[in-house]
Structure 1
């Protein structure tokens, strides 16, 4: 029996901007998610997938354009998976991000909270990122013009970003507005060199080819790191590529490479080899205590650092301000990563204890304390659900404040129970996913109430929003 065709909904008004950067429409009682539409658009929607409680669709016709709609500035908009909101003004983006926090707190959290502070906008809405990873592929995404050409005339090599939901198709990028120069110049030059030399671009289906990835990192002080990932150890070709980058871009302070013979692109378990320059970059950030002090943070090839470094200061300063330190506090920094928050607050408190499950990150955290001459931090590598015990608290002292900055999945339920048992006076929850944050805060509601909420925009032109919440211990 043939499957019934999906319906076409006509003259539908887009009413909201929702999950994963998609617009939201409602047909009768059915919610429909549509990419690249803007609230206020009146459209025809072809349903392409149907779930139990919602549909996925695509716009087939615009009857009326929304007053909120603006012209997207990137030529790759609509195909590339990033920057999905650049057809809305930045002011509208901020409004919908703040609304997202409010919506999930009401729908998922169902707890009381004060009026949400106005979202902190990013000072830069383009060229704000400090890291991008580009992928080489011999399976370039073809547009309609390409498809008109005979197969033998199609250029199939690409260096750019993955097409959403297609692991083997890469969009060849002409210009990206996310990272400052020389990011675009390096990518274009490397692609041209590879084509001239006849170097093989990687095939993710057959796991053949030579060139896999190029990662470009930069700091606000102008330092640049480049890591080239090769699929095999062809010395002559590796040396040729590395010499080309070094001679063409003397601004590169750290040039590295990786031989990755695995079938995935993860390099955290691979040896990163230094070709020239320094093995790390140094990022700087003003000390929130003031007095003109500058904090330094070492960034290696696989180190984590907030990808919008200038806005990261405002994110950390928000957590700092909401904590209300007096100088006598013992602070636990959960999911501390490379110790950025720990070292950021260290001069304002008695002691900071950081816990993180990635051992290499803890090594970086120790180094970051050392280069800043910070003596009142301690770091532990381990699974928080196992490490944060009564014995751990007895050894390190009961915290007055816990700052937690978990991954998008939020905190493990055991960690939440441990926080409730420890019962610090304040918990400052920094989140990159307000939905899981709302879930966790509801669980903490057994002993805590929400005292302050401050969204922070770290990723302009996307739906992502960071959110910082102050929780205070209550007697119940």
Structure 2
């Protein structure tokens, strides 16, 4: 299985990447692209299904694309993610000898997300067919009994499945993979529990009853645009509804019905987004009922989360991830700790009682304000947070002012660290670094740049997102005695 969730076959002396398959499937493939060393293609016919397959639990599995690996047992998913980490470290990082601990699986594997965002659209997206399978149909593949072997027809079926069709029927759900203007109408999502499914379905029902228009991304017209649901392990729920323009009468009616049906929503918010893009960071938030924020418990911390806050989307597994960071950091109480790409400061604040000083840097100013509020709320006085680019802030003057770090934690975005940031880390030369990554490939790339001065002494994969191709990886680096 490749890092992006596609299976690999060998054809004509090169690696052939095929989506929609798992190891052990026997398929006919139409090759669409051939490059030096690899090729890509799509399935035109399934001859035999792998014994590894299981029936996905979600009715939207075939078209949604969110939980790419639901057709695999969870134990098999973990094995593949573990292997992905090992392959990336060896192939990209040149760290084939690194000792990798067994991956930490998640519990539960369903309803584990604390945040989901849904889109309203006047055009429901439908896929019209599927790739034929010899002998029977399978819910795992949503295959009809059509068993044509014509590769042209097979290609059209695959393209139909990939492109889908949109018709004038309102939908509330997720964007179709790779399509900004097409939305899959989601009736039940297994990613988030609590009030999430009820809120989304009620919003659709209320809107249709009153004839409220759904926002069309192509024509940039319509009223109801999006919604976000956040939940916490403390039983608190935030529901945010996004409107393309304000209609005070319709808004009051819509939110009143939501509030009446869902008394358990502790934070009912709304905002106006008249921009072309969907980002909400520059939108003003309004409280209809309840509080402007919700709270989550993270170890000893009580964290305040707003509609714009970044927070680990798997609360229970997030705490396990932070405990791994704590263990690998090996703090004794006297250290200066740098927390780069700190987000809302949760890792730094989680470790603040274990060290003398925490210094956090984050690009998003709103996230830094959240970090400061959470520090104050939890009585943490030894943490300082700065808003700005790590590349620009982390210079000699900054280190002279804040002190050279004994331990440094980096949790960059999927793109990894800028090469010049890596150079700065080599200049600052902390004794230990803990590198948290949601992309083992870019992490391995950065580790290759650090390995001359640092030795990898600990690797711990953590599965934050069951049934997806994604895996988190935590690496401990210790400075070599050069």
TM-score by length of 1: 0.91
Q: CA deviation at 1:295?
A: 1.1
Query: Which whole-Å deviations, capped at 9, do the CAs of 1:359-393 have from their partners, x for residues lacking one?
Result: 11111101111111111111111111011111111
Aligned match for 2:425, one of 416, 419, 437: 419
Partner of 1:435 in structure 2? 441
Aligned match for 1:445, one of 426, 448, 451: 451
Partner of 1:57 in structure 2? 41
The alignment status of 1:122 with 2:128, answered yes or no, reads no
Q: CA deviation at 1:165?
A: 1.4
SS at match of 2:46: strand
Aligned match for 1:366, one of 353, 357, 372: 372
In 2, are the aligned partners of 1:112 and 1:450 still within 8 Å (CA)? no
In 2, are the aligned partners of 1:113 and 1:452 still within 8 Å (CA)? no
SS at match of 1:101: helix
SS at match of 1:79: helix
Aligned residues: 447
Partner of 2:223 in structure 1? 210
Counterpart Cα distance in 2 of 1:230 and 1:224: 20
Counterpart Cα distance in 2 of 1:131 and 1:415: 31
Counterpart Cα distance in 2 of 1:120 and 1:208: 46
The alignment status of 1:461 with 2:431, answered yes or no, reads no
The alignment status of 1:242 with 2:255, answered yes or no, reads yes
In 2, are the aligned partners of 1:109 and 1:442 still within 8 Å (CA)? yes
Counterpart Cα distance in 2 of 1:57 and 1:141: 24
Gap change, CA 1:48 and 1:186, over 3 Å in 2: farther
Counterpart Cα distance in 1 of 2:236 and 2:475: 33
Counterpart Cα distance in 2 of 1:222 and 1:123: 18
The alignment status of 1:100 with 2:84, answered yes or no, reads yes
Partner of 1:157 in structure 2? 170
Partner of 2:69 in structure 1? 85
Aligned match for 2:17, one of 23, 30, 33: 33
Counterpart Cα distance in 2 of 1:131 and 1:374: 27
Partner of 1:150 in structure 2? none
Q: CA deviation at 1:258?
A: 1.1
In 2, are the aligned partners of 1:140 and 1:171 still within 8 Å (CA)? yes
Coordinate RMSD, CA, aligned: 1.5
Counterpart Cα distance in 2 of 1:248 and 1:46: 51
Partner of 2:148 in structure 1? none
The alignment status of 1:265 with 2:278, answered yes or no, reads yes
Query: Which whole-Å deviations, capped at 9, do the CAs of 1:87-117 have from their partners, x for residues lacking one?
Result: 0110010001011111111111113543210
SS at match of 2:126: coil
The alignment status of 1:222 with 2:222, answered yes or no, reads no
Q: CA deviation at 1:57?
A: 2.6
The alignment status of 1:312 with 2:318, answered yes or no, reads yes
Counterpart Cα distance in 1 of 2:232 and 2:340: 25
Counterpart Cα distance in 1 of 2:361 and 2:386: 5
Gaps of 5+ in 1: 1-16, 148-152, 287-293
Gaps of 5+ in 2: 130-159, 161-165
Counterpart Cα distance in 1 of 2:167 and 2:451: 59
Partner of 1:400 in structure 2? 406
TM-score by length of 2: 0.90
Counterpart Cα distance in 1 of 2:10 and 2:272: 50
In 2, are the aligned partners of 1:311 and 1:458 still within 8 Å (CA)? yes
Q: CA deviation at 1:59?
A: 2.0
Q: CA deviation at 1:19?
A: 3.0
The alignment status of 1:66 with 2:58, answered yes or no, reads no
SS at match of 2:359: strand
TM superposition outliers: structure 1 runs of 4+ over 4 Å: 48-53
Counterpart Cα distance in 1 of 2:198 and 2:18: 34
Q: CA deviation at 1:33?
A: 2.2
Counterpart Cα distance in 1 of 2:275 and 2:458: 46
SS at match of 1:74: coil
Partner of 2:28 in structure 1? 44
In 1, are the aligned partners of 2:194 and 2:231 still within 8 Å (CA)? no
In 2, are the aligned partners of 1:434 and 1:467 still within 8 Å (CA)? yes
Gap change, CA 1:49 and 1:171, over 3 Å in 2: farther
Aligned match for 1:274, one of 262, 268, 287: 287
Aligned match for 2:183, one of 165, 170, 173: 170
In 1, are the aligned partners of 2:436 and 2:472 still within 8 Å (CA)? yes
